[in-house]
Structure 1
């Protein structure tokens, strides 16, 4: 028998040896792409008009466009100024309206207090007169009630005690007594809930 053949050792794989050609190929590809990057654009521009491309084809048109843009910018600035002025005027008007509203509210409160005082004073005066008429003899009060307007007399009689009002009504002429009675009866006829 033959002795077994010695094993041949394969070289061990090293990471650095096989990666180096890959890195070199990536750099070469990047260089080719960079060189060829502008070629497509140059060819497209060249085939478009047959002439070399220029950045400013017509300086006069560009100047006219620039003037138009500047005019528009001036108009917009003018409009902004007008709008700002209007906004300021609106703010001032709102402030004046708020001040006047506050003044009106204060005046309304003061007027309400004055009316309340006047109403309570008038009510006290009427109550005092009712008391005077109640303390008068019905024969003495009747001529006064006949001289009054029927609506006015009805107001006093409605506030008097019923027995005193009846005595005064009994001393009035039938026509005046009837008209006052009709007014007193119809006072609350139009009130809601009736």
Structure 2
């Protein structure tokens, strides 16, 4: 019984010591956790140390990069200005070429008009000369003896002979027709009648 009581007494003290140790450890742990929360509350950023400066986290172009971009933009503007100047020069050259071409066309048209006027004058002179020649030749045939004139008209083409006879006086034309062969006289008469049929009646 003493032995059992002795064991029970020692076991009771050990349990008390164990429980006391656990309580003390719990208190220390609570004090440590409370102190950590207090520090975190007073300075939330104190526990987290940044790995790199804030300015390094924001991407900012370096001065060299900015100068390079400005240089590229300036070069692009200069190239564009050079292209525009080249196009403007080409347009000016084309406009000058067109102006020269217009002047040349106007000059040629003026020369053509002068040539046309000259040709018209020559044609008028030729027609006048031809008409004068026909008038004189018709007068010659009219003044010839009918027999001699008939011999000439017999050799003429009927249309050509009819042209002269149509210009002659009626008595001179009748004398020449009477001296022609019946076949030639008939051909010339038909042509003269056809020309007179085309004349409108008044």
Q: TM-score range by the shorter chain?
A: 0.5 to 0.7
Q: Which has the larger radius of gyration?
A: 2
Q: CA deviation at 1:153?
A: 0.9
Aligned twin of 2:179? 171
Tell me how large the CA RMSD over aligned residues is.
3.1
Correspondences of 1:64-83 after superposition (within 5 Å): 64-83=72-91
Q: CA deviation at 1:136?
A: 1.2
Q: CA deviation at 1:92?
A: 1.1
**Alignment coverage as a number of residue pairs:** 143
**What is the TM-score normalised by the length of structure 2?**
0.60
User: Residues 95 and 127 from structure 1, CA distance in 2 versus in 1: closer, same or farther, beyond 3 angstroms?
Assistant: same
In 2, Cα distance between the equivalents of 1:61 and 1:84? 35
In 1, Cα distance between the equivalents of 2:99 and 2:199? 48
In 1, Cα distance between the equivalents of 2:89 and 2:59? 47
In 2, Cα distance between the equivalents of 1:87 and 1:132? 66
User: Residues 163 and 102 from structure 1, CA distance in 2 versus in 1: closer, same or farther, beyond 3 angstroms?
Assistant: same
**What is the TM-score normalised by the length of structure 1?**
0.62
- Counterpart of 1:87 (choices 86, 90, 95) is 95
Question: Which consecutive unaligned segments of at least 5 residues does structure 1 have?
Answer: 1-49
Q: CA deviation at 1:95?
A: 1.3
User: Residues 192 and 167 from structure 1, CA distance in 2 versus in 1: closer, same or farther, beyond 3 angstroms?
Assistant: closer
